[in-house]
Structure 1
Amino acid sequence: MVEFEDPYFITNLSDSNLGANETWNSTINLGEGERLVNVTSEMDIAYAIPLYGYCMPFLLVITIVANTLIVVVLSKRHMRTPTNAVLMAMALSDMFTLLFPAPWLFYMYTFGNHYKPLSPVGACYAWRAMNDIIPGLFHTASIWLTLALAVQRYIYVCHAPMARTWCTMPNVLKGVVFISICATLHQSPRFFELVYEPTTIRWGDQNNVVVCKVKLADWIEHGLTPDVYYTIYFLFRVIFVHALPCISLVALNLLLFKALRKAQIKRNKLFKENRKGDCKKLRDSNCTTLMLIVVVTVFLFTEIPLAVVTVLHIISSSIKEILDYHVANILILFTNFFIILSYPINFAIYCGMSRQFRETFKELFIRGAVQATRGRNGAGSSKYSLVNGPRTSTNETVL
């Protein structure tokens, strides 16, 4: 999940949003800069429970099934192309973005344990890592992979000779590994920025309830200082994870759409000249480009709002306070939800716009339907053959 960590993940006891019957009555004095983990104050429970507690389990099942099917289909030998390698990496990143926080979302919001003290210390570390840091890592990788996909398609369409050198399978796999390493390095300091310690409080009618006391690590508090550390982190994130990728993707989408229109005019000319072979190749290329434009467009609709809120957070934290953080956290909550909601959509796009993906899916999971289709078309003239490759007759991509 993408959240604002500095002021919102941890809150003072006196700032708690707990109800009257759920107040944490402290029996200790906290030191300067120390806080108690209070999950209820992390986000507006009125929205978090229905979205994360009730809707999320269904989305989790749909996402896991859809993205697993994408990986299985794209991993087949005849589907292994540079484009499909990036699409498969994106599917895995999206699935892991939701899979890691899922156990905690169930525990906190579906089963209604968000108001309870979180302990022991190991659980506090696990909550933070699995609910924020690791999902942030995979989501960052997904953003950069989407950008890599658009760049790759731009090279294919607008600079075809370069594709033979740059868009090979070994180079694409190296790019995927490089993106994964960069995303890991970007998030790795966050594993060490907070220190949790056990302490006891009075909670309701219970005395000596163990909870997690949390503070900034010494290397931030007395080294870089919190202002420097969080400014560097969020500034890097807003520039290289949100702003530049989104701006680049908008520009690349426009360039690809412009190239698509030119290619369509050329295809019409080839069709009039009865050059069916060249016309078919160009049609397949156009359909692949169109499908990837749709994938990138869906991505942008969910990512741009998050980028805007993050930019406002940077301005409000470092220059002038302009953001109502209660409203901002609600916006982040809904933005996170819509990002997750978009994950299964790619499967629908591939099935709807890629004939090869659809036929491979049928070959793997609906053999009866494929055999019936082959029977109607004759044993030696099937629309799709794993040996002879795709024989397209509609305006669909073969990836």
Structure 2
Amino acid sequence: MVCVPPANNTTQLTSLCKFSMAYTEYHGYASVLVCIFGLIANMANVIVLTRKNMISSTNCILTWLAVADLLTMASYFFFALHFYIMRDPDILALKTRSYGWCVMLLIHASFTIVCHTIAIWLTIVLAIFRYLYICFPTKGNILCSISRAKLSIFLVYLCTIGVCVPNYLVNYIDSTETPEQFSTGNGSITINNTIYEIKVDDEGKPIVYTANSWLQAILIKIIPCAMLTILTCLLIHAMHQAHKRRMKLKSQGRKDESDKHGEHNRTTGMLLAIVVLFLITELPQGILTLLSIFIPNFYYDVYTPLGDILDIMALINNAINFVLYCTMSRQFRDTFVRVFCGCCSEHRPGWLKMKAVTAQNGSHATSSRV
């Protein structure tokens, strides 16, 4: 984001704006690297989570969460490449001389909000499903069935697209013409260059602008952050209770049931880590969005200079789930190795085990390897 000069001249805000302008020079490169890793990681997530042995309501939600993250990072990759790395040094960031790229920026601005909001609410659905499964173990398969998971996913995608309609309407393309002089053999000529940028129509559509501001603040920031905070506490409490039940089963010598509870706890721990990471990413944005509504000029003085930092935090969060799955889920690791490394190991030269064979005369053939 372009750092807008502060409304007042306090040292703190000036320093924040200077920091934003300094970081902008590196933001494009950092974003592209994170997006490349995130695209590969989320494609791997989708492939692994859709294998037959991985089918479950939880993995169904995780699959469509990976799809939302994948779409977000794909859009941001091209955005960062053009508007940060390859941008014209003579014009400010988020401005372009190409009308086509400005249209792409307009689509990107709405598309990424939709995808990111879908990811947030799918994380909430994931936490709710897991909490129900822990609290009602006998009815968990019914309450958290695959059909209900698919219905929840469909509703999240559909409702998010509808809620973000005001955001589609409030943004528009603005153009300005700047004269440039070029020297020629016969003197100089003046050419008008058109520069395009995206602006928010807060004066022409005040009702739509106000509705969009409140919807963004309440349904996309405040309520999700509050729900993620509550669900995090509930999951931690549920995990503690589940651990006590596991220890009780173990003390009674019921090892099989204890191991089963241990596997469920590890799955819950992985999902809790996903929820906590989303909370760490979204809570600061929720607080800043809320302050922007009630404090004059806060959006331009504080929120805008921090825009790139908030973006890179969100991108890292979108890319890191693959690492969590690999480190915290043995089933995911085994399936990943079988899908991506199985074809290589099948044709790799190595030792073949040969069993010992007993001869008819009672002697034993020695065990050999080829």
TM bracket (short chain): 0.7 to 0.9
For the 8 Å contact 2:243–2:265, the answer to whether it is kept is yes
Q: How far off its partner does 1:309 sit? A: 0.8
Secondary structure of the residue aligned to 1:362 is helix
Quick check: 1:303 aligned with 2:282?
Answer: yes
TM-score, length-scaled by structure 2: 0.80
Quick check: 1:62 aligned with 2:37?
Answer: yes
Q: How far off its partner does 1:197 sit? A: 6.4
For the 8 Å contact 2:232–2:272, the answer to whether it is kept is yes
Structure 2 CA distance for aligned equivalents of residues 202 and 178 of structure 1: 50
What corresponds to 2:333 in structure 1? 358
What corresponds to 1:87 in structure 2? 62
Q: Aligned ranges for residues 314-393 of structure 1 at < 5 Å? A: 314-316=293-295, 321=296, 323=298, 325-367=300-342
Instruction: Give deviations 1:134-180, integer Å, cap 9, x for gaps.
Output: 11110010110010000010110113345333311111111111111
Structure 2 CA distance for aligned equivalents of residues 310 and 371 of structure 1: 54
Secondary structure of the residue aligned to 1:303 is helix
Query: Match for 2:69: what amino acid?
Result: D
Query: Match for 1:144: what amino acid?
Result: W
Q: Structure 2: which 5+ runs fail to align?
A: 8-16, 183-189, 355-370
What corresponds to 2:166 in structure 1? 189
For the 8 Å contact 1:60–1:99, the answer to whether it is kept is yes
Quick check: 1:294 aligned with 2:268?
Answer: no
Q: How far off its partner does 1:87 sit? A: 0.8
For the 8 Å contact 1:108–1:114, the answer to whether it is kept is no
Query: Match for 1:211: what amino acid?
Result: I
Secondary structure of the residue aligned to 2:96 is coil
> CA RMSD of the aligned region, Å?
3.1
What corresponds to 1:276 in structure 2? 255
Q: Structure 1: which 5+ runs fail to align?
A: 16-40, 380-399
For the 8 Å contact 1:121–1:212, the answer to whether it is kept is yes
Quick check: 1:48 aligned with 2:48?
Answer: no
Structure 2 CA distance for aligned equivalents of residues 215 and 278 of structure 1: 59
Q: How far off its partner does 1:76 sit? A: 0.5
Query: Match for 1:278: what amino acid?
Result: E
How has the CA–CA distance of structure 1 residues 126 and 268 changed in structure 2, closer, same or farther, with 3 Å as cutoff?
A: same
Structure 2 CA distance for aligned equivalents of residues 146 and 294 of structure 1: 11
What corresponds to 1:118 in structure 2? 96
Q: How far off its partner does 1:91 sit? A: 1.2
Structure 1 CA distance for aligned equivalents of residues 78 and 270 of structure 2: 34
Of 128, 132, 141, the residue aligned with 2:106 is: 128
Query: Match for 2:309: what amino acid?
Result: F
What corresponds to 2:153 in structure 1? 176
Question: Which stretch shifts more, 153-162 or 303-312?
Answer: 153-162
How has the CA–CA distance of structure 1 residues 191 and 274 changed in structure 2, closer, same or farther, with 3 Å as cutoff?
A: same
Instruction: Give deviations 1:226-268, integer Å, cap 9, x for gaps.
Output: 2x32222121221121111111111111111112111111111
Structure 2 CA distance for aligned equivalents of residues 125 and 59 of structure 1: 24
TM-score, length-scaled by structure 1: 0.74
Of 183, 192, 195, the residue aligned with 1:208 is: 192
Secondary structure of the residue aligned to 1:160 is coil
Secondary structure of the residue aligned to 2:264 is helix
Query: Match for 1:337: what amino acid?
Result: I
For the 8 Å contact 1:118–1:211, the answer to whether it is kept is yes
Of 125, 132, 155, the residue aligned with 1:155 is: 132
Instruction: Count residues with an aligned counterpart.
Output: 330
Secondary structure of the residue aligned to 2:304 is helix
Instruction: Give deviations 1:177-230, integer Å, cap 9, x for gaps.
Output: 11111111122333333444666431465522233487777xx856xx42x322
For the 8 Å contact 2:167–2:212, the answer to whether it is kept is no
Secondary structure of the residue aligned to 1:361 is helix
What corresponds to 2:46 in structure 1? 71
How has the CA–CA distance of structure 1 residues 107 and 114 changed in structure 2, closer, same or farther, with 3 Å as cutoff?
A: farther
For the 8 Å contact 1:82–1:167, the answer to whether it is kept is yes
Q: How far off its partner does 1:370 sit? A: 7.2
Q: How far off its partner does 1:355 sit? A: 0.3
For the 8 Å contact 2:217–2:290, the answer to whether it is kept is yes
For the 8 Å contact 2:221–2:286, the answer to whether it is kept is yes
Structure 2 CA distance for aligned equivalents of residues 167 and 282 of structure 1: 17
Of 204, 216, 224, the residue aligned with 1:237 is: 216
